[in-house]
Amino acid sequence: MAKKATGKTKTADKKSYELFNRDTQAFIYNMQVNATQRMLDFDYAAGREKPSVAAIVNPTGSESLQKFFYGPKEILVPVYKSLGRAADKHKNVDVLISFASFRSAAKSAEEAFEIPGIRTIVLIAEGIPERQMRLVNAKAKKLGKVIIGPATVGGVKAGAFKIGNTGGTIENIIESKLHRPGSVGFVSKSGGLSNEAYNIISRNTDGLYEGIAIGGDRYPGSTLLDHLLRYEKDPNVKMLVCLGEVGGEDEYAIVDALKAKKITKPLVMWVTGTCSKAFKTEVQFGHAGAKADAEAETADAKNAALKKAGAIVPHSFDDYAEKINETYKALVKKKIITPAPETEAPKIPLDFNKALSAGVIRKPASFISTIADDRGEELMYGKMTISDVFKKDIGVGGVLSTLWFKKLLPPYATKFIDMVIMVTADHGPAVSGAHNTIVAARAGKDLISSLVSGLLCIGPRFGGALDGAAQQFSDALDRGLTPQQFVNSMKQKGANIQGIGHRIKSIHNPDMRVTIIKNYVKKHFKSTALLDYALEVEKITTSKKDNLILNVDGVIGICFVDLLRSEFTKEQADEYIQMGALNGLFVLGRSIGFMGHYLDQKRLKQGLYRHPWDDIAYLTE
């Protein structure tokens, strides 16, 4: 569970006026594949070292990995069911981009409030009830959170971070020079006009530094002035550009800030909706707040007040670009702005459908594999080339740990894996798996068929107790049961304790395999908590019957839990047990023995033993 927010969020890596930088990572709330891909395309074009999307939160789906492109390569983005779980896994993330519907957007913001690390919350949805937003805004202000939206497309920090679908396609992003930073800070209510403004700014200045669309609802989470004041404090922003709109009185807060000299950088601003005077009655201009209910709320009144307060106000939107260009040139002349250098953005491959006719194809892989790759110059086991596998002499245990557990375990652990394979390789011809392999071989079946017939016998009665023992004993230990309580509970269920009992061996005639493993584990493992617990259980069971000992399946499964919990988190260790990884060790070991039985039978059948006394015959009944 994420820790509850108790006060204002602290962000060590960002200044107070900075919401995003080139290291910013975000959570995407709801499965928005296209928006996520557009963010990743922007990241690649901007030359970011790591993607801006850390994870997707999909409350109605299941936890998984989602494929996306990062330039020409595919990457995997984790998907979580809850925001709290995502935050626990990715503690560096401080931005939430919520694509939740208007019915659940406020709830997603409330979830984000509970996570101290999340500072900026973007609400894309339109139509969130005004009462809900007023409550959300009040709580955000109290906690020191910044809300962009609702009813917003988001925003962009050029060359650093882009929210969702801001700026449109990657072609438009590059055309508007958003892949690298300029000198202009921009804010508006409208997302559509923001995209248009980015293009205007790119053609009349050295480009955008940061742009935000606060959204068109009546009660936005942050105001035009909030962002202008951030830009005022940011030394990288040299001039301000803003678009207001008819309705409401937010623009008058900017007028007051200009008069009070809180805004000193040149501000080019236009309030749209001047055509409203051509209508006989007041007109609703799209956004919920874009309607003048009084003379002061009209676009003409606001533009006049802004001009009087010192803003650079054009005669109409038609000469908005001209005023921006004039202001920029004046700042360059004064050497306040040194024009940003032009940089060529990396080319982003076209997606499959778009590229089909042009013959430039980007096709996703049919399968996902994260353990090995043979497409390069050398075969890769995880992050290790096959050459390094032999140079570092990691052995079979090292290869298995790399391919099964996705990391090279320490030498004590890889040695233990080698031991497990060695002691499980065979158990003689009488057990069911070996017996079936022999029968199939004598019937003339091929190697694969004979081997599979033996492997199919593996289960709770033969070799399948590794996972069962690991699960039963670890569950009892985790629940705080004493060894006696565990034994009693299994007796009440009428269930056998997996990993306990042997037909021949007993406390007085121990299984040497178990002894070898116990001695090694006691000497080399970091922790033997579960093994110690199992040995206490063994004392209880053998007091009733001397052959109810910890057998080889049990000791392997139990010791492997101690190993996994030493090298992984408990959650990861439990996942490997649930997936059947431990029984996989038995399958691997017994495959060696079964293949030996197959070859033995073929040799016998073909008369390859010229002197029968050269070999010891282990006969079955």
Q: According to the model, what pLDDT value does residue 270 have?
A: 96
- For 66-70, 148-152, 427-431, 512-516, which range has the lowest pLDDT when averaged over its residues? 427-431
Is 60 exceeded by the pLDDT of residue 615? Answer: no
Please tell me the distance from the alpha carbon of residue 588 to that of residue 604, in angstroms, as a whole number. Answer: 25
The token duo for 239 is 């001039």
Q: Which domain holds residue 584?
A: 432-603
Q: Is 96 exposed, middle or buried (0-12, 13-18, 19+ CB in 10 A)?
A: buried
Residue 198 and residue 176 in contact, taking contact as beta carbons nearer than 8 Å: yes
Give residue 243's pLDDT band: very low, low, confident or very high (50, 70, 90): very high
Unique residue bearing structure tokens 């007109």: 283
What SS3 state is found at 95? strand
Please tell me the total count of domains within the chain.
1
- For 97-106, 141-150, 228-237, 365-374, which range has the lowest pLDDT when averaged over its residues? 365-374
Residue 122 and residue 163 in contact, taking contact as beta carbons nearer than 8 Å: yes
Average pLDDT in the 243-248 region?
A: 87
Q: How far is CA 133 from CA 95, 129, 328, 331, in A?
A: 19, 7, 37, 40
The DSSP secondary structure of 102-163, one letter per residue, reads TTTHHHHHHHHHT-TT--EEEE--S---HHHHHHHHHHHHHHT-EEE-SS--EEEETTTEE-
Residue 466 and residue 586 in contact, taking contact as beta carbons nearer than 8 Å: yes
- Whether residue 459 lies inside any domain: the answer is yes
Per residue in 550-562, pLDDT (tens digit) is 999 999 999 999 9
Is 70 exceeded by the pLDDT of residue 506? Answer: yes
Give residue 621's pLDDT band: very low, low, confident or very high (50, 70, 90): very low
Is 60 exceeded by the pLDDT of residue 614? Answer: no
Q: What is the mean pLDDT of the chain?
A: 89
- Whether residue 168 lies inside any domain: the answer is no
- Whether residue 579 lies inside any domain: the answer is yes
Q: According to the model, what pLDDT value does residue 355 have?
A: 66
Q: By percentage, how much of the chain surpasses pLDDT 70?
A: 89
Q: How many CB atoms lie within 10 A of CB 143?
A: 18
Please tell me the distance from the alpha carbon of residue 536 to that of residue 534, in angstroms, as a whole number. Answer: 5
Please tell me the distance from the alpha carbon of residue 126 to that of residue 115, in angstroms, as a whole number. Answer: 24
Residue 534 and residue 558 in contact, taking contact as beta carbons nearer than 8 Å: yes
Average pLDDT in the 340-364 region?
A: 74
The token duo for 570 is 């408990």
* Residues involved in catalysis: 287
- Whether residue 315 lies inside any domain: the answer is no
What SS3 state is found at 21? coil
Per residue in 249-307, pLDDT (tens digit) is 889 999 999 999 999 999 999 999 865 555 555 654 554 444 445 577 888 999 999 99
Q: According to the model, what pLDDT value does residue 431 have?
A: 85
Residue of 202, 210, 211, 213 lying closest to 176 (CA atoms): 202
Q: According to the model, what pLDDT value does residue 607 have?
A: 64
Average pLDDT in the 395-399 region?
A: 95
| Sheet with strand 161-162: strands edge to edge | 161-162, 154-157, 208-213, 184-188, 239-245, 267-272
- Whether residue 526 lies inside any domain: the answer is yes
Please tell me the distance from the alpha carbon of residue 504 to that of residue 520, in angstroms, as a whole number. Answer: 23
Per residue in 439-489, pLDDT (tens digit) is 999 899 999 999 999 999 887 677 668 888 999 999 999 999 999 999 999
Q: According to the model, what pLDDT value does residue 605 have?
A: 76
- Whether residue 342 lies inside any domain: the answer is no
- Whether residue 206 lies inside any domain: the answer is no
Q: According to the model, what pLDDT value does residue 608 have?
A: 56
Residue 592 and residue 425 in contact, taking contact as beta carbons nearer than 8 Å: yes
- Whether residue 211 lies inside any domain: the answer is no
pTM for this one? 0.72
Question: Please, which residues bridge with residue 155 across strands?
Answer: 212
Average pLDDT in the 379-387 region?
A: 93
| Sheet with strand 95-98: strands edge to edge | 64-70, 73-80, 53-57, 26-29, 95-98, 120-123, 146-148
Please tell me the distance from the alpha carbon of residue 174 to that of residue 332, in angstroms, as a whole number. Answer: 23
Per residue in 88-128, pLDDT (tens digit) is 999 999 999 999 999 999 999 999 999 999 999 999 999 99
Q: How far is CA 397 from CA 354, 393, 403, 425, 609, in A?
A: 46, 10, 10, 14, 34
Q: According to the model, what pLDDT value does residue 10 have?
A: 41
Q: What are phi and psi of 372, to 5 degrees?
A: -150, 155
| CA within 13 Å, CB half, 465 | 21
Q: According to the model, what pLDDT value does residue 282 have?
A: 60
